[in-house]
Chain A
């Protein structure tokens, strides 16, 4: 069975600084995809970034990058130049094929002015 662990219930970061949100995963499948979603207070889940298990390079999308360390089974999200609007819950998720995506418990990020 697949599992996602997000060990940081809450994180604080100063505006304009970078922050790393941790995510470790557990799966025995060689093929899988890792996802990060942002959930602001409005509730909508917003897709941020995707990393495939066979991708050679770390994924990047604007200010978001994924620090993928396959041997350690970690997929940390790095947000550069934090903005006040980045304050939200962030969820890491894994899919190993099929229709079931497993989500972690989430990390709440607070950006300070």
Chain B
């Protein structure tokens, strides 16, 4: 069966510090990978998605970046964190069999607080 891991689970970082969040998927090949951010009490905002190694699409221009160095590894980074980067970051994977049936499965999330 497929599993998705995220770490760290929680993170407190000062403004201006770098960020690296990691997501790995097991039990599937060539998944689509996604990074979402969820502000407190709000819905999900898609940040990045990737359909393959080295292929990254950005949905929201900001000081965050994403990379996919391996098939089942997705990394979210920032060189300098802002207060507004605080939130709950969720990684997800899917395997599209047919368009519009893209069921996404989520990891446990990383709660980021920028002080």
Contact = CB atoms under 8 A, between A and B. Distances in A.
Given A31-B100, A47-B105, A47-B106, 11 more contacts: A33-B100, A33-B103, A43-B88, A44-B106, A44-B108, A45-B92, A52-B100, A91-B43, A101-B46, A106-B42, A106-B43
Interface residues of B, number: 25
Interface residues of A, number: 27
7 contacts: A35-B104, A44-B107, A91-B44, A95-B102, A97-B99, A99-B34, A101-B46
Given A33-B101, A43-B109, A99 B32 contact: yes
A96 interface: yes
A96 to B, nearest CB: 6
Given A97-B99, A99-B32, A99-B49, A47 B43 contact: no
Contacts, number: 63
Contacts of B95: none
B43 A104 contact: yes
Contacts of A37: 106
Contacts of B99: 31, 97-98
Interface of B: 32, 34, 42-44, 46, 49, 51, 57, 59, 88, 90, 92, 99-109, 111
Contacts of A52: 100-101
Contacts of A96: 100
A105 B43 contact: yes
A25 interface: no
A68 interface: no
A40 to B, nearest CB: 11
A99 B106 contact: no
A100 B59 contact: yes
A101 B102 contact: yes
